[in-house]
Amino acid sequence: MELSLHRLRILREVDRHDGVTTAAHSLGYSPSAVSQQIAALEHEVGAPILERIGRRVRLTTLGRVVLEHAEIILDAEQDARAAVELARDTHTVELTVGVFATVAAGLIPTILSDLATHHPQMNIRTREVDPEDALTDLRHGHLDLAFLIDYPQASEPWPASLTMVPAGRDQLHLVAPAGQFAGGPVRLGDLAERDWIISGPHTYYGRAVRAACQQAGFELRIAHQVNEQATALAMVAAGLGVTLMSDLAQIFQPPGVDVLELQRPIHRRLMIAHQTSARHRPAVPVFVDSATRAGAALSTRTET
């Protein structure tokens, strides 16, 4: 019996998303193509590995056994890739890096310029992904590295299998329609009766802002729940409420808003994550070093 790595990856995605259609979208395939690969895998193992429960699917007992060993096989593949790159002793490699919008706009151009100068043989691809999804994508090998955010006021637990490298400090500022405040710094508690434009509690950012407001003695009055920082800023400029903006997001700042300091600043740390086993891949520390320099330069600019 031979098991295809490609089909094992597809099985892992189907289990992750509890369905063929969502897994197909994640992989960039058609649902029929995913179904064909699952059928081929079932033929290889000689029995069904999925069963349908309503509109969703779940692994059979045999499917769970296959997936358990697939995780071991796919992790070993990652280790083998790292060993080969180390043996070749070269940085000539392609890395896929998970980013979110403000990092893509505010840091990635600097990092890529640096690498193009000092390591032109490296090929970096970026993929915009929610930080919450990036953790799973790292574990499954869809990403080699990913940018994440850590909020000291609402710190998140990180998987033990990942190495987290600090890459600079960022700060949040109040953004309000122009002319509504005489000037900063502003007490967060004075914003209790304001309409807020902020992301939902399913994001690190949304949870961190809610935690900061609770510590200031109030619950957010959310008028508009949006995830994109640029969208929130545009809505503030239209007079629809207030929001918080990071240093990285200043590139998206529209006209018609005031940016004010908070009396008690909310800081956050930019982190770069990768599988701990990937530290042996020569290209990974090269990228991390470049990213930490770019992040340190951002911290220096925002503190002066």
- Report residue 82's pLDDT band, with 50, 70 and 90 as the boundaries: low
In terms of CATH, what superfamily is 169-268? Periplasmic binding protein-like II (3.40.190.10)
More confident residue, 290 or 83: 290
pLDDT at position 215 over 60? yes
Structure confidence at residue 85 (pLDDT): 64
Question: How is residue 167 written in tokens?
Answer: 């890459």
Grouping H, G, I as helix, E, B as strand and the rest as coil, residue 185 is coil
Same fold, 91-168+270-303 and 169-268: yes
Indicate the DSSP class of residue 253: P
Grouping H, G, I as helix, E, B as strand and the rest as coil, residue 87 is helix
Structure confidence at residue 3 (pLDDT): 73
Over range 72-77, report the average pLDDT.
76
- Report residue 302's pLDDT band, with 50, 70 and 90 as the boundaries: low
**List of E strands, 144-202:** 145-150, 162-177, 196-198
Peptide bond into 185 cis (omega under 30): yes
Class level of CATH domain 91-168+270-303:
alpha beta
Structure confidence at residue 27 (pLDDT): 72
Selection from 203, 230, 80 nearest residue 134 by Cα: 203
Q: How far is CA 285 from CA 147, 252, 272, 273, in A?
A: 14, 30, 11, 11
> pTM of the prediction?
0.70
Domain residue ranges in the chain: 5-85, 91-168+270-303, 169-268
Do residues 3 and 41 touch, judged by C-beta distance below 8 A? yes
Do residues 13 and 27 touch, judged by C-beta distance below 8 A? yes
**CA–centroid distance for 224 within its chain:** 22
- Report residue 92's pLDDT band, with 50, 70 and 90 as the boundaries: low
Class level of CATH domain 5-85:
mainly alpha
How many residues are given for the chain? 304
More confident residue, 81 or 253: 253
Residue that the structure tokens 């800081």 belong to: 267
